[in-house]
Structure 1
Amino acid sequence: MNSDRAPEHGRPRRVFVAGATGYIGRHVALELSARGHQVVCFVREHSGIGATVGPDQARRNLAGCEVRFGNVTQARSLIEDGFRGEKFDAVVCCLASRNGGVEDSWRIDYAASRKLLEVSRDSGVGHFILLSAICVQKPRLAFQRAKLRMEEELVSSGMTYSVVRPTAFFKSLAGQVEALKQGRPFVLFDNDEAACKPIGEADLAAFMADCLEDSSRHNRILPVGGPGKAVTARERADMLFRLLGRKPRYRRVPIALFDGLIPVLELLARVFPRFRDRAEFARIGRYYATESMLVMDQTSGAYDADATPSWGNQTLLDFYRQVLEDGLTGQELGDHSLFAGLSRTQES
């Protein structure tokens, strides 16, 4: 495990952060501010889950940062409302689609991020740090293809870059916590080989902040996982049952459920456009049920836990212990919550 930060934070820099009201973006902005950097966050006037966070709450959530409001999908707003003709040393892009839908993924993960890159380059920004995802190694989904396309644009831009590809977030592995607290079984898919090295938001924020200060992370694509060994869904379930002091109970769901559902939704999407995202959500569910969030050997196609860098201090066990004691406030899945009702029926 490597939990050492850059040896020193160096001179304060002016940093422009896009996506700062998101799960990771907020922690990155606060981490940069805590290190003494001058942070400007560019956000929507109404953000958060259900667009319930207004300007005053956004400023409170990003205390210590300057908050500016505008539309990241419009170059003019980025220039006039965001950059305002000012100089920035670096830009951190934490933009991500709200739910992984096809159109939204290309609109935000690619098009908006590309506009930010173009405005940054034209404004003389020296360093662009992009939050991507480790799953772009095997792109099967719209948001993965959009993120990978954005990575390619950045690498070929001529700017100094750092592309951060984290594994699963702790938050994404908390979807069944409340169900288990209520005595329900843990949902397992019949293929329980997929594993990940999940990472917490504070550790990932520190890793990204270090990219600004550590030249060894410049012009590199940086996969990163959390501390400890890779864990499967069954191992994560066992952690939770031990912490709850309960005998494990599972509900097993066949992967074939997706294999039957996806073609039907794809067929419907040809006639009814509203089914396009529903088909994509089913593909997302299947992908995460069957694919590991680890570094993949590009020759063999095999996932390699040992090749996946470990970083940080908070373990998944620490996180589960915390949310069982304190609740899931701040860890809500929102639009990313899928198959929330699976654990309510048919136990095994």
Structure 2
Amino acid sequence: MSSLSGFSGSSAVQRTKRVFVAGATGYIGKFVTQELVARKYDVVSFARERSGIDGSVSAGQTRRQLAGSEVRFGNICDSESLVGSGMRGERFDAVISCLTSRSGGVKDSWMIDYQANRNVLDAAKTAGAKQFVLLSAICVQKPMLEFQRAKLKFEHDLRDSGMTYSIVRPTAFFKSLAGQVEAVKKGKPYVLFGNGELTSCKPISEADLARFMADCLEDPSKSNRILPVGGPGEPVSAKAQGELLFELLGRKPKFRKIPIGIFDLTIPALNLLSKLFPALEDKAEFARTGRYYASESMLVFDPETKTYDGAATPSFGNDTLRDFYARILKEGCAGQELGAHSMFH
């Protein structure tokens, strides 16, 4: 099985690099910022004045979350704000972008996954940055959704930019597998699409992913490459995720199986309605997103065999899904809220 070990650079020059982090208040962005601070980089983190789900996090809370970095506030979608309030005419050695659309809606995807990242790339060049690390997603290998197309377009721009780049494509985050934990704790069945074996992933923790992304600044072997990465262990199916939860709870597994064909009924109807009522465009896209994640694995895709390959999906880190489930079953899901991405309530 393919594996990736951590890389720890020790050069004083590497440790004093100035790094600008875009998307610093996102789920992964917070951990990336904290990892860079721990490695003694000079970090500037850029954020909205009100961040988090529905703007629930204040500027003061953001400063505490990103302690050790210099927090600057502005609008990532406004180039003037990014340059004036974010980079301020200063020089940076590297930029890390953890930007991703919160809703996955059509306009939001192009506004954030493409255009905001493009704004950051242009500003990075002006600031003299030579290196750009991008948080992308493994699902762009088989693009069927707008956010995937937007991410791919920016990946193309970044590869053509002349900058040293690392495009990180993680598999599923632990957070994305937490949507049914509270329901199962309350005695409800675990919901599966089909038989629960249609898809698999190698989930990676936020801390391990942050370490991997920080390593990209230090490890030349990660430069100018697209880097798929998963967590430790074998791929885990949706059914196996549910079985693990019930095992940790000491209960007999109880599943509710939903035919994946339900999407094939709702998606055409929503597509038609969205042409008549444009306000429904995002609902149609969310249905397509649900269908995608219910049927496509988050593993390296082999375009020749048209199959997903767990053995070809690199492993990194030490945090396991079992440990994550055990922790949130005990402590609750605070900090793991999915917001607009939640499919199960």
TM-score relative to the length of structure 1: 0.96
Matches within 5 A, 1:274-285: 274-285=279-290
In structure 2, the partner of 1:337 is 342
Distance 1:249 1:275 in 2: 34
- 1:137, CA displacement in angstroms? 0.2
Q: Distance in 2 between matches of 1:278 and 1:9?
A: 49
1:193 deviates by 2.1
**Is structure 2 residue 67 aligned with structure 1 residue 63?**
yes
Matches within 5 A, 1:169-188: 169-188=173-192
Q: 1:262 aligns with which of 263, 267, 278?
A: 267
Identify which range, 326-335 or 17-26, moves more after superposition: 326-335
Please state how far the C-alpha of 1:9 moved relative to its aligned partner.
3.9
Q: In the aligned structure 2, how far is the partner of 1:179 from the partner of 1:339?
A: 8
Whether the aligned pair in 2 keeps the contact of 1:9 and 1:35 (CA below 8 Å) is: no
1:101 aligns with 2:144: no
Pick from 245, 248, 258 the counterpart of residue 253 of structure 2: 248
Moved over 6 A (4+): none
Shift of 1:90: 0.3
CA offset digits 1:15-50 (Å, max 9, x no partner):
000001000001000000000001100111111011
Q: Is the partner of 1:306 in helix, strand or coil?
A: coil
Task: Give the Å deviation of 1:3.
Answer: 5.8
Alignment deviations for residues 49-71 of structure 1 (CA, whole Å, 9 cap, x no partner): 11011111100111111100001
Shift of 1:6: 1.3
Is it true that 1:231 corresponds to 2:232 in the alignment?
no
Question: Which string of whole-angstrom CA distances, capped at 9 and with x for unpartnered residues, describes residues 159-216 of structure 1?
Answer: 1000000000000000000000000000011152210000000000000000001111
Residues of 1 paired with 2:339 and 2:101: CA distance? 12
SS in 1 for 2:268: helix
1:43 aligned onto 2:47? yes
List aligned pairs for 1:56-205, cutoff 5 A.
Answer: 56-191=60-195, 192-205=197-210
**What is aligned with 2:5?**
4
Whole-Å separation in 2 of the counterparts to 1:325 and 1:126: 44
Q: Give the aligned length.
A: 340
The residue type paired with residue 274 of structure 1 is: A
Contact 1:261 1:282 in 2 (8 A): yes
Residues 240 and 320 in structure 1, CA contact (< 8 A), matched pair in contact too: yes
Q: CA deviation at 1:2?
A: 4.0
How far the C-alpha of 1:121 sits from its partner, in A, is: 1.2
TM-score by length of 2: 0.97
In angstroms, what is the RMSD of aligned CA positions?
Answer: 1.0
1:325 to 330, 340, 344: 330
Of stretches 5-14 and 184-193 in structure 1, the one that deviates more from structure 2 is 5-14
Superposed displacement of residue 300, structure 1: 1.8
- In the other structure, the counterpart of 1:346 is none
Preserved contact between residue 194 and residue 258 of structure 2 (Cα < 8 Å) = yes
Unpaired segments ≥5 residues, structure 1: 341-348
Aligned counterparts of 2:25 and 2:143: Cα–Cα separation in 1: 26
Is contact 2:136–2:167 with CA below 8 Å preserved after alignment? yes
One-letter code of the match for 2:120?
L
Percent same amino acid at aligned positions?
60
